[in-house]
Structure 1
Amino acid sequence: MKIADRVLKLRELMREKGIDVYIVPSVDFHQSEYVGEYFKCREWISGFTGSAGTVVVTHEMAGLWTDGRYFIQAAKQLEGTGIQLFKMGEPGVPSFIEFIVENIKKGQCVGFDGKVMSVSQVNDLKSKFQEDIKINSDYDLIDMLWTDRPDMASSKAFVLDTKYCGEDIQSKLSRIREALEKENCDINIISSLDDIAWIFNLRGNDVKNNPVNLAYAIITADKAILYIDDRKLDNSVEEYLYENHVDVREYFEIYEDAELISSSEVVMMDFNKTNFTIYNRIKDVVKIINRPNPSNLMKACKNEVELENLRKCHLRDGVAVTKFMHWLKNQVSQEKITEMSASEILEGFRKDQDLYIEPSFDTISAYGANAAMMHYKATKDSDATLKPYGLLLVDSGGQYYDGTTDITRTFVLGECSYEIKKHFTLVLKGMIKLSKAKFLYGATGTNLDILARQSLWEQGIDYKCGTGHGVGFLLNVHEGPQGIRFQYNSQRLEEGMNVTNEPGVYIEGSHGIRLENELIVQKDLKTEFGQFMKFETMTYVPLDLDGIIPELLSEDEKEFLNNYHRMVREKLSPYFDESEIDWLKEYTREI
């Protein structure tokens, strides 16, 4: 069926079930950002392939809500579907919940699959209704229409050795139980896949590029229960869980066990990460406390073993990306290279590195105007041929047994305009200012975000996304609770957290530039004014000097860049042959 026909069929089902408004979010049963093929309902009903967005269908209209990363892409993919684009965050644009509240009438019904709507979203929806509005969370209407829907993922789980992650399962469970006791809670219900992977030191491949298993967990003072399809567990994993006193139950049994929770018990769950159906199954008399899972902050603060492994991991990843840069610079005028073939070559360099598993997300390889779409993904139809002029933006990363990487470099392929070089230099200035930051403990990423944007703001330029995010350890490439963004984030930057630093410029129809390093939060000097903090850069790849206008850099910025390039050259040289080293010296030279 065409998209427009799918929407018509959905409306027929809505009438049959007595539903006036139906919501289709992007997530799975665990509120994950990236989802397996089975859960791509919003993509199926709309044709929009971005990772974030919500579709709302009424009997008269259909709309897609998505954020600034996807405005250009969504507009193109929605053409001819009859689905209206709502640009989240833009002046005068209501949220999808505000839209529903404004357009629904007394006595009508809002429907959704309760397993893919968070408790927070449903509570927010309910709180805004002023009249008698019904809610039906029982139906997955997309499942009734999607006749060739893929099966749910069933990859094998594997145990991550403590030589990589630095802390065993018993230690983690003990810390979580201490946190529960401190909050006077008896039960922690955990739905988020990366938290579960971290707690149990298990990894899998149920979500492309995200090494997690579809699972739920319940932790009490004396029990740890893992809800997972037992076909994912081989004998060694079963033995590991048994030895660590972890009860294993069937994946969907979490819903039955939620109904059995005693009225005398206090439950802790994260309303943003728990689906409404689990919450709805718990008796009304049970006290439920909405808190981030204790594991969320524990996971974000990497231990010394993880940090040392990450540095090694980033070094090997830097070798791969720099060898790609060398190849690209030398071959772009010699052979046919496309966005997709360049991405495959980069993947080949990563495969040559020890402990490599897979990409940490789908590589963004975007030439020219395509790079103006922040999360562009080349297809056979859009796969541009690279020319010896303009820019190629490559945002990529790797999953390794000893860590996860995320790096963006924008490569100058040849001649480009002064405006493009100016934009490149402004992005670099923002990256350097954030990298150099010294800040008092207690600061959040929101306090620091202006450092990355200031040089752009002075020229009337901005980018419609955050500046940085946490990164998991052989886990999701986007990890909280920390972040660096203009929008408010209350999480303090703690020692051991890692965060990306990735300002950019995106000019529709012309070009896109993003430069990204990963940083580690460290303690700096302590004075009578308090504990000061700083960043360590752990990404080791040259920043393309061909795109820089040196006169636009301050002396401090030049010094930082020269020191960074000296470090890159020293770390990478042992892995390069003589001709590559000559090239490396040229691209890490002092300016």
Structure 2
Amino acid sequence: MQIQQLSAQYRLAQLREQMQQHAIDAYLIPSADPHMSEYLPEHWQSRSWLSGFTGSVGTLVVTATEAGLWVDGRYWVQAAQQLAGSGIVLQKQTPDPRTSYVTWLSQHLPEGAHIAMDGEVTSLQLFEQLHTTLGANYRLSTDLDLIDRIWMDRPVLPCAALYALPEQVITQSRQEKIAAIREQMTQKQCQYHFISALDDIAWILNLRGADVEFNPVFLAHLYLDDDQTVILFIDEAKLSSQIKASLIRDGLQIMPYTATKEVLSQLKAGTLLIDAAKMSIAHVQACPAQIKRKIDLNPSSLFKAQKTPIEIEQMRQTMVKDGVALAHFFAWLEQALAEQQPITELTIDERLSQFRQQQSGFLGLSFATIAGFNQNGALPHYRATNSSFAQIQGQGLLLIDSGGQYQTGTTDITRVVPIGSPTPAQCRDYTLVLKAHIALAQTVFPEGIAAPLLDSICRKELWQA
């Protein structure tokens, strides 16, 4: 049995010992951190550490006798491979609510059972969904991080230094952005606003970091009131003297990253504006009972999505830079194939990165490069490793999904390259997928329509075949 499988079994046993000590019947482990991020620092990759499944999303549920990992169709093949022999069962989640872990819990636990989770990494939105569905029949608790009790060599929180965006890239000062947020707070009749979303905070402050792989963000929370107070909760070791001075000059207070709940607990009567999908239930529960909640999108999320003409032009420049890198790459690939040089999926990743690094303003990759040849290209979120990769040789299709982070924007490019002569079946399948994309691109639809209805238009050609 592989070491990974033994590790998962041992860790499950440790977790169950903790559950027994605290009279817990089921423990939930989502893929999340206190900022509800998609990409997580290693410190919060609890689900991956416990199960051995390395996909970016998935929820692990553990009871005294059973354990299941709920993932969508993108990860079924990968999860089946990585969970084999671990004692954890792959649960194939679909849009059908009957396949959800919530339904599973209601079917496998007796009434009155104790379901626990770490409130620090559970969003208000998720907790309320669980409370609405299960709360009447089960006891829910959010004050126990059992993983921290068994993960003895748990990685510490990252502490990469922050850096300021160049002046020529900035289109609005942080004071202007904060003022615009306060206008929205006034319109919504809110006296307080708490932000945990890392991309929002980086955008508001015109700062970038490197605490999360592939994302130029930093671990922090941000608090504003409707008057003068703005507090940045952050590990001060990340701040250079120049950046700290500029933040203070702009009216921000600097407090420890861990001081959030203390500040929230001292709020006076009023209304707190929060995004339920981006704020942890632990932070919500820290607020006094007299604090009302206004649930809405973070104003900064909407502001950030509305690009100025200058930002649109910067994005065009970014695409040109990335296009130049790709042109160099494809020229190299054609020559390498013609000369029959040895090429693997790992080589594709290396060369793409090299050509992107030659572009000015390049900060790093925007996600792990997916280079999948033939059957590997059919696996969503596939990633070649040093122990498992394919040679690029013979006939077939090479899928390349990659992107870069630049000072002026982010790219995400997907291309399919024929190697030799694709088979008639591959040509047919590729054409069907192309027709599906064209059908969706040409669709005119009412605002607010349910996404599955658009999905059916996209899949029409595939279903007919």
Q: TM-score range, shorter-chain basis?
A: over 0.9
1:290 is matched with 295
Query: Tell me, what secondary structure is at the counterpart of 1:3?
Result: helix
Amino acid at match of 1:397: G
Query: Tell me, what secondary structure is at the counterpart of 1:164?
Result: coil
Q: Distance in 1 between the 2:251 and 2:119 partners?
A: 32
2:195 is matched with 190
1:35 is matched with 40
- 1:118 is aligned to 2:123: yes
Over residues 41-64 of structure 1, what are the superposed CA-to-partner deviations in whole Å (9 max), with x where a residue is unaligned? 000111100000010000010000
Q: Distance in 1 between the 2:12 and 2:154 partners?
A: 16
- 1:340 is aligned to 2:366: no
When structure 1 is superposed on structure 2, of 109-118 and 125-134 the one drifting more is: 125-134
1:68 is matched with 73
Identity of aligned residues (%): 37
Unaligned runs of 5+ in 2: 1-5
1:433-512 alignment, distance < 5 Å: 433-435=439-441, 439=444, 442=447, 446=451, 452-459=458-465
Q: Distance in 2 between the 1:356 and 1:410 partners?
A: 24
Compared CA separation, residues 149 and 128, structure 1 to 2 (3 A): same
Q: Distance in 1 between the 2:122 and 2:135 partners?
A: 21
Q: Indicate if the aligned counterparts of 1:163 and 1:305 stay in contact, CA closer than 8 A.
A: no
Amino acid at match of 2:310: V
Q: Distance in 2 between the 1:92 and 1:157 partners?
A: 42
2:401 is matched with 395
Matching residue within 313, 319, 332 for 1:314? 319
1:110-509 alignment, distance < 5 Å: 110-129=115-134, 131=136, 133-221=138-226, 222-262=228-268, 264-332=269-337, 334-435=340-441, 439=444, 442=447, 446=451, 452-459=458-465
Over residues 321-377 of structure 1, what are the superposed CA-to-partner deviations in whole Å (9 max), with x where a residue is unaligned? 122122223313511111112110110010111111100001111111111111011
Q: Indicate if the aligned counterparts of 1:190 and 1:216 stay in contact, CA closer than 8 A.
A: yes
Over residues 394-443 of structure 1, what are the superposed CA-to-partner deviations in whole Å (9 max), with x where a residue is unaligned? 11000001110001101111122111112222223344455566x58947
Query: Tell me, what secondary structure is at the counterpart of 2:434?
Result: helix
Unaligned runs of 5+ in 1: 460-591
Query: Tell me, what secondary structure is at the counterpart of 2:61?
Result: strand
TM-superposed CA distance for 1:450, in Å, is 5.6
Q: Indicate if the aligned counterparts of 2:124 and 2:279 stay in contact, CA closer than 8 A.
A: yes
Compared CA separation, residues 330 and 429, structure 1 to 2 (3 A): farther
TM-superposed CA distance for 1:169, in Å, is 0.9
Amino acid at match of 1:422: R
TM-superposed CA distance for 1:451, in Å, is 5.9
1:531-546 alignment, distance < 5 Å: none
TM-superposed CA distance for 1:135, in Å, is 2.4
Matching residue within 38, 46, 49 for 2:51? 46
Q: Distance in 1 between the 2:315 and 2:158 partners?
A: 28
TM-superposed CA distance for 1:92, in Å, is 7.5
Matching residue within 80, 89, 95 for 1:84? 89
Q: Distance in 2 between the 1:291 and 1:458 partners?
A: 41
Compared CA separation, residues 73 and 114, structure 1 to 2 (3 A): same
1:542 is matched with none
Q: Indicate if the aligned counterparts of 2:270 and 2:290 stay in contact, CA closer than 8 A.
A: no
Q: Distance in 2 between the 1:212 and 1:154 partners?
A: 11
Q: Indicate if the aligned counterparts of 2:210 and 2:216 stay in contact, CA closer than 8 A.
A: yes
Q: Distance in 2 between the 1:7 and 1:235 partners?
A: 45
TM-superposed CA distance for 1:13, in Å, is 1.1
Query: Tell me, what secondary structure is at the counterpart of 1:69?
Result: helix
Query: Tell me, what secondary structure is at the counterpart of 2:18?
Result: helix
TM-superposed CA distance for 1:144, in Å, is 1.4
When structure 1 is superposed on structure 2, of 416-425 and 186-195 the one drifting more is: 416-425
Q: Distance in 1 between the 2:138 and 2:458 partners?
A: 45
TM-superposed CA distance for 1:247, in Å, is 1.3
Q: Distance in 2 between the 1:93 and 1:76 partners?
A: 24
Q: Distance in 2 between the 1:444 and 1:174 partners?
A: 33
Query: Tell me, what secondary structure is at the counterpart of 1:30?
Result: coil
Over residues 79-107 of structure 1, what are the superposed CA-to-partner deviations in whole Å (9 max), with x where a residue is unaligned? 11111111111657431122223322233
Amino acid at match of 1:248: I
Over residues 267-322 of structure 1, what are the superposed CA-to-partner deviations in whole Å (9 max), with x where a residue is unaligned? 01011111110011112221111111111111112111111001001011011112
2:15 is matched with 10
When structure 1 is superposed on structure 2, of 97-106 and 240-249 the one drifting more is: 97-106
Over residues 87-128 of structure 1, what are the superposed CA-to-partner deviations in whole Å (9 max), with x where a residue is unaligned? 111657431122223322233211111101111111111222
RMSD: 1.9
Q: Indicate if the aligned counterparts of 1:160 and 1:203 stay in contact, CA closer than 8 A.
A: yes
Q: Indicate if the aligned counterparts of 1:162 and 1:168 stay in contact, CA closer than 8 A.
A: no
Compared CA separation, residues 448 and 96, structure 1 to 2 (3 A): closer
Q: Distance in 2 between the 1:64 and 1:405 partners?
A: 31
Normalised to the residue count of structure 2, the TM-score between the two structures is 0.94
Over residues 430-487 of structure 1, what are the superposed CA-to-partner deviations in whole Å (9 max), with x where a residue is unaligned? 44455566x589476947656644433432xxxxxxxxxxxxxxxxxxxxxxxxxxxx
Q: Distance in 2 between the 1:74 and 1:97 partners?
A: 20
TM-superposed CA distance for 1:166, in Å, is 1.5
Amino acid at match of 2:59: T
Q: Distance in 2 between the 1:319 and 1:36 partners?
A: 31
Query: Tell me, what secondary structure is at the counterpart of 2:112?
Result: coil
Q: Indicate if the aligned counterparts of 2:398 and 2:419 stay in contact, CA closer than 8 A.
A: yes
Amino acid at match of 1:385: Q
Amino acid at match of 1:347: S
Over residues 197-236 of structure 1, what are the superposed CA-to-partner deviations in whole Å (9 max), with x where a residue is unaligned? 1111111011001111100011122222111110000012
1:587 is matched with none
Q: Distance in 2 between the 1:173 and 1:376 partners?
A: 40
Amino acid at match of 1:108: A
Q: Distance in 1 between the 2:439 and 2:164 partners?
A: 40
Give aligned pairs, total.
457
1:87-102 alignment, distance < 5 Å: 87-89=92-94, 93-102=98-107
Q: Indicate if the aligned counterparts of 2:439 and 2:457 stay in contact, CA closer than 8 A.
A: yes
Q: Distance in 1 between the 2:230 and 2:135 partners?
A: 42
Over residues 135-176 of structure 1, what are the superposed CA-to-partner deviations in whole Å (9 max), with x where a residue is unaligned? 232221111111221111111111123522411111111111
1:499 is matched with none
Higher relative helix content = 2
